[in-house]
Structure 1
Amino acid sequence: MSFYTSLNGMKNAQTSLGVIAHNIANSETYGFKRSRTEFSEIVAASALTNPKMIQGIGASVEAINQNFSLGPVEQTGSALDLAITGDGFFTARSPLDGTTQYTRAGSFQMTGGGNIVDNSGNRLQLLPVDANGQVTGNTLGDATVPVVNAAGSAFVGVTVDKAGIVNASYADGTVEPVGAIALASFVSPGGLKKIGQASWEGTGLSGAATYGAPGSGPYGSILSGALERSNVDIAEELVGLITAQRNFQANAKAIDTATQISQTVINLRT
């Protein structure tokens, strides 16, 4: 039995090493959230087993949980580089299949048609606003800036204030609000499904997304000209890396010891 107990320990250490390696590899990925591996004890016993004699048969991976603590904020100066100062996720929709994704990586840019998109071409979602920049509803829509206003003046720039209002400036000096950035919140963000590129999808475990404007309810404010960096702590990950390596070596040594004991028993019998 000790062979399989130690073998499970080696597999668990390998899983932990993989998670830590993924964290380290994404230490420079904007909006990335680190994960940690959690284990649980395996015990097998019948109703007649003496509770003082239960030995246990190893451990298993209980969960790989995500840590959504805030990462450090880096100033960039670009108007469409956005960081959230509290909870919440940017909402982006794929123009190809209409799927909705959520991210903390706020690196956006404009296309030639006036759409505000992320690095994968997904369109940032906005809430509708009136001429004074007040939110008028909860219906999400693509962030699209008119390249020419009603007076025929050409678009010259865009800004985003701390309340998430996207304002478009035109050559005639007018400034028109386009919409308010829609931030998503979840009852259990740990239940979100990773889909890569520092983005997530909602699941039954996370619960349905609720949307709101920055600065209201559980949603943080918006910092324009800044990006949230990964929340990976390299020093902590390196300590975890050493620990996982030692766990792997210790379990390998246990298998080696069990092999030597078995060989000794076999030699005694012969």
Structure 2
Amino acid sequence: MSFFTSLSGMKNAETDLRVISHNIANAETAGFKKSNANFSDLVASGSASDPRRTPGIGATVASINQDFSLGPIEQTGRSLDIAINGGGFFATANPISGDLNFTRNGGFVLNASGQLTDSNGDLVQSFPVDANGNATSNVPGNTVVPITNAAGSGLSSITIDRRGVVTAAYSDGTTQPVAEIALASFASTNGLRSLGQSKWEQTGASGPAEFGEPGIGNFGELLSGTLERSNVDLAEEMVALLTAQRNFQANARAIDTATAISQTVLNLQR
């Protein structure tokens, strides 16, 4: 039994190492959120067993939870780089299926059709606005910036303020608010399913997305010209890496000890 107990410890240490390695590998990934592995013990017991003589039989992975705490904000100077200073997620839609994903990575670009997208081509979601930049609906849709205005002048620049209002400036000197970036929140962020590329999708455990305007309620304001970096602390991860390595080595040594004891017992039987 000691073999299987130590084996479960080795498997858990390996899982811990994989989680830590994934964190370290994404230390420079914008919008990345680190994960933590949690473990629980296993006990072989029944209703008729003596609780004072019940041995443990190892450990198992209880959960791998993501830490959605705010990462450091880095200045980029690029107007379409946006960080959320507080709670919420950007929502992006797959241009083919329309499925929504959610991200903290606000590195956006404008395509040739005037659509605001992320680096993967998914469409950034926003609310329609009136001439004063006030949202006219709480149902988000694709963000489209007119390439030319009514006078036929071409687009010269785009700005996004802390309220998420996207304003287009044209070559004739006119400006026009075109949308307000929508933010999403969830009843349980730990219930979100990670998709990679700093994106998540909602699940039954997370609850449905609730959309709102930046800077209102629990939604953070937007910081233009900045990006949120990974919230991985390399010093913490290196200490955790050494601890996981020691745990693996200790369980391996326990297997060596169990093997030596078994060999001794076998020799006594000869």
Scaled by the length of structure 1, the TM-score of the pair is 0.99
Give the distance between the partners of 1:92 and 1:45, measured in 2 at CA. 49
Give the Cα–Cα distance (whole angstroms) in 2 for the partners of residues 80 and 233 of structure 1: 27
Return the letter of the residue paired with 1:9: G
Partner residue, 2:32: 32
Per the TM alignment, residue 173 of structure 1 is displaced from its structure 2 partner at its CA by 1.4
Q: For 1:64-103, list aligned pairs within 5 A.
A: 64-103=64-103
- Aligned ranges for residues 42-53 of structure 1 at < 5 Å? 42-53=42-53
Q: Does 2:111 align with 1:111? A: yes
Report the alpha carbon displacement of residue 149 of structure 1 after superposing the two structures with TM.
Answer: 0.7
Q: What secondary structure is seen at the aligned counterpart in 1 of 2:57? A: coil
In structure 1, the residue matched to 2:174 is 174
Query: AA paired with 2:173?
Result: G
What residue identity is the alignment partner of 2:30? Y
Q: Which runs of 5+ in 2 are unaligned?
A: none
**Which amino acid letter does the alignment assign opposite residue 92 of structure 1?**
T
State the partner residue of 1:144. Answer: 144
Please list the CA deviations of residues 193-238 of structure 1 after superposition, one character each: whole Å capped at 9, or x if unmatched: 1111000000001100000110011100000000000000000000
| Partner SS state of residue 42, structure 1 | strand
Distance 1:45 1:112 in 2: 65
Deviation at 1:252, TM superposition (A): 0.4
Q: What SS does the corresponding residue of 1:173 show, helix, strand or coil?
A: coil
Displacement after TM superposition at 1:96 (Å): 1.7
**Counterpart for residue 206 of structure 1:** 206
Q: Deviations over 1:39-86 (max 9, x none)?
A: 001111111211111111010000000000000000000000000000
Once residues 43 and 127 of structure 2 are traced to their aligned partners in structure 1, the CA distance between those partners, rounded to angstroms, is: 52
Deviation at residue 150 of structure 1 after TM alignment: 1.2
Q: Deviation of residue 128 (structure 1)?
A: 1.2
Work out whether 1:153 is the aligned partner of 2:153: yes
Residue 31 of structure 1, CA deviation: 0.2
Where does structure 1 lack aligned partners over 5 or more consecutive residues?
none
C-alpha distance in structure 2 between counterparts of 1:137 and 1:114, whole Å: 21
Partner of 2:243: 243
For residues 88-135 of structure 1, what are the alpha-carbon distances to aligned partners after superposition, in whole Å with 9 as ceiling and x for unaligned?
000100102211110000000111111111110001111111110111
Q: Where does residue 60 of structure 1 map in the other structure?
A: 60
Which runs of structure 2 are paired with 1:178-189 in the superposition (5 Å)?
A: 178-189=178-189
Matched, 1:17 2:17: yes
Q: What's the offset of the Cα at 1:174?
A: 1.3
Secondary structure at 2:172 match in 1:
coil
Distance 2:74 2:201 in 1: 25
Give the Cα–Cα distance (whole angstroms) in 2 for the partners of residues 48 and 196 of structure 1: 47
Cα distance, 1:260 vs structure 2: 0.4
String of CA shifts for 1:8-37, please: whole Å, max 9, x gaps. Answer: 100000000000000000000000000000
Per the TM alignment, residue 141 of structure 1 is displaced from its structure 2 partner at its CA by 1.2
Q: CA RMSD in A?
A: 0.7
* Distance in structure 1 (CA, Å) of the matches to 2:139 and 2:49: 60
Q: Which amino acid aligns with 2:44?
A: A
Residue 6 of structure 1: CA displacement? 0.4
CA separation in 2, counterparts of 1:141 and 1:204? 23
Pairing 1:5–2:39 present:
no
* Structure 1 Cα separation of the partners of residues 104 and 264 of structure 2: 58
SS of match in other structure, 2:184: strand
* Aligned equivalents of 1:46, 1:132: Cα separation in 2: 69
44-53 or 113-122, which deviates more: 44-53
Structure 2: how far apart are the matches of 1:10 and 1:220?
A: 42
Secondary structure of 1:58's counterpart equals strand
